[in-house]
Amino acid sequence: MYTPGARSQALWRTACTLIPGGVNSPVRAFKGVGGQPLFVERGYGCCVQDVDGKEYIDYVMSWGPLILGHAYPRVVEAIRQTCEKGTSFGMPTELENRLASRIVQCVPSIQKVRMVSSGTEAAMSAIRLARGFTGRDLIVKFDGCYHGHSDGLLAAAGSGLATFAIPDTKGVPAKHAEGTLVVPYNNCDAVEAVFAKHGDKIAGIIVEPIAGNVGVIAPASGFLAFLGDITQRHGSLLIFDEVITGFRVGLGGAQGLYGVTPDITVLGKIIGGGMPAAAYGARAEIMDCLAPVGAVYQAGTLSGNPVAMAAGLATVETLIEDPPYARLDASAALLETGLRDAAREAGIPVRQNRVGSMQTLFFTDSPVTDYPTAKKSDARRYAAFFHGMLEQGVYLAPSQFEAGFVSTAHSDAHIQRTIAAARKVMTGLKSV
Ligand SMILES: *Cc1c(COP(=O)(O)O)cnc(C)c1O
């Protein structure tokens, strides 16, 4: 197991006395792989440097926002210029219009958009909007899909089809999750069954159009179109949670890639350019149900924060001016092939799931198409791989069940270094 340097260790000891578990978001604590997290001093391009001066090639990229890499000069400059004029007003600014118009321009389903500060808030608000618009209470979600940590959406553990969900966490009253029906991902029959039973009470389906929070799982052919059909047939709404996929798999997100138009879209991560911003949008008829026009209330002191808007706008405009998606796909394919060859040479069974620049290397020999098949992965072997790669100066997600991201800052040379590291580390995994 990799041990970080002395300063990281000291900061970790202090953090554990001040912050629950030493972290402000659980996955940072390395529970999925063991050991201690390293503390970051700075990031540049595709690299981070820890407080002990060691450099790592980063494939977490703040869990998705940093498609242009760390400290991208245009984004940093936009933030600097904006915050010199004041950091928050609670009054409208032009930057909000500018980012909104870019989102409307790129994302097929969005005519109007409301800015918020986190993906959690955006998904929670989208659900409220769907319920307000349809006048119905039930929400269908998929096993293993993550939509932030709001009460009703933390229910993923529904065992079997059409069971009303049980909260995945303490602190959520059972009745908060009762409005959520959990079904297996990529399973049309299960969706058909819940609609047969509860169709006239279902406000909407929320789905990650490419699952990214159990590791990457692409939608089966026809799955998203089926969700579009069935919601339309029952007067329910289809909500795409594109917090990861928005501006990641193309300017139009997964809906552009697969040609399926949802009713409501949730965005986050990339649209904040590394600052706290997220959004949800839909056609005007739906969005005008929100206060102050309509009766669905939702608000935020820091919503549409100018510094966050500036970072998001600089990021999104960079992507629009010179769409990097073909380059990103080529970089990610280079990595995918290199890791596959390294695993094969070492005799380690793996399955790779990749859509554009998001990918996961599952340590299993059977296809990963939903949460149960993802869970067949050998998490102990992943942990050994993770620590070996850290030692080699490569920072992967500290859990098997996450997506890895390539940014425009990952050069072929960085990727070749990563593959060389993986070759070394894979040979030692046979005995794990
Ligand atoms: C990260 C994520 C969220 C939550 O966003 P936060 O900004 O962390 O609250 C919601 N949905 C998906 C698909 C995500 O990946």
Mean pLDDT of 410-419: 98
- CA separation, residue 95 to residues 58, 125, 155 (Å): 30, 22, 36
Stated pTM of the model: 0.97
Cα 394 to ligand 1 centre (Å):
24
Model confidence band, residue 161 (pLDDT cutoffs 50, 70, 90): very low
Section 195-218 average pLDDT? 96
Residue 178 has pLDDT above 90, yes or no: no
Instruction: Determine the average pLDDT of the residues in 13-21.
Output: 97
Beta-bridged to residue 239, according to DSSP, are 206, 264
Cβ contact 246:268 at 8 Å:
yes
Q: Ligand 1 atom closest to Cα of 276?
A: 7
Distance from the CA of 141 to the center of ligand 1, in angstroms? 15
Residues 6+ apart with CB under 8 A from 285: none
Q: Rounded to whole angstroms, what are the CA distances from 170 to 141, 151, 390?
A: 20, 10, 33
Confidence band (pLDDT; 50, 70, 90) for 156? low
Predicted confidence at residue 158, as pLDDT, reads 33
pLDDT, tens digit (0-9, with 9 covering 90-100), for 317-370:
999 999 999 999 999 999 999 999 999 999 999 999 999 999 999 999 999 999
| pLDDT tens figures, 384-410 | 999 999 999 999 999 999 999 999 999
Q: What is the pLDDT of residue 164?
A: 61
Percent of the chain with pLDDT over 70: 97
Ligand 1 first shell, C-beta below 6 A: 118-120, 123, 146-148, 208, 212-213, 241, 243-244, 268, 278
pLDDT band at 162 (very low <50, low <70, confident <90, very high): very low
CA dihedral 174, 178, 181, 182 (to 10 degrees): 0
Q: How far is the CA of 154 from the centre of ligand 1 (A)?
A: 12
68: tokens are 């242009």
For 189-287, strand residue ranges (E) read 202-207, 237-241, 264-267, 278-282
Residues carrying an active site annotation: 146, 241, 269
Domains of the chain: 6-67+324-426 (3.90.1150.10), 73-321 (3.40.640.10)
Q: What is the mean pLDDT of the chain?
A: 95
- With 50 as the cut, is the pLDDT of residue 279 above it? yes
pLDDT > 50? residue 92? yes
pLDDT at 232 over 50: yes
